Structure 1
C-alpha cells in the first residue's frame, strides 16, 4: 500500500496475505512466543482453530487452541480458552499471533 493509505490498519498472514486481524483489536504488544515476539488480539478473523489442549506456557498452564490461517493453513499463533491463575484470566477468549507470521497491510 502507498504511504498515507486510508482505512483501517490490518494484519495479514505472511504467507498468503489473508486478512487475520485489525490494529484496533490489539490488547498488548508485549507478548512472547517460542519464536520471539507476539501480539495479543481481542479478535481475529479468517482463522481455523485446532483442538483445545492444556499447555504449559511462560505464565503457567492454560487451555489453548492453535490458530491457523483459513486460506493456506499456516500456524499463526493460539487462542486462550481458559487461564487457571486469576492474574491470567484477562487472556481468556483472546488470540496471540506471532510477529513473524503476520504482515502489516494498509499502513
Structure 2
C-alpha cells in the first residue's frame, strides 16, 4: 500500500520515511482498506494537503491497522523486533514507537 500511494504522490519508496517525518499535521486516513486509504490520500492531495502530511497519515494508518488487527489482544513488550523492508521506513518505526510508547 505504501508503494502504491507513494507512486501516486510522485515519491520514491525509499524517500517516504524521510519526507513523512517532516509532517507538522498528519492527515487522518482509513487504514483498514488499501483502496480507501489510497483514495483518501489522493483526495487530500487534490485539496492541497502537503505530501508529507499525507505520507505520515498513511504510516499512522498502517500502524493503527496492524495494532488493531494482528496485535489485537496481545501485550507487546520490549524488546520488539521489527524486520522486513518496511522496517527501513523511519516514519513507520516512529509511528510504532509513538503508538506503543517505547
Structure (1 or 2) with the larger CA radius of gyration? 1
Larger relative strand fraction: 1
Larger relative helix fraction: 2
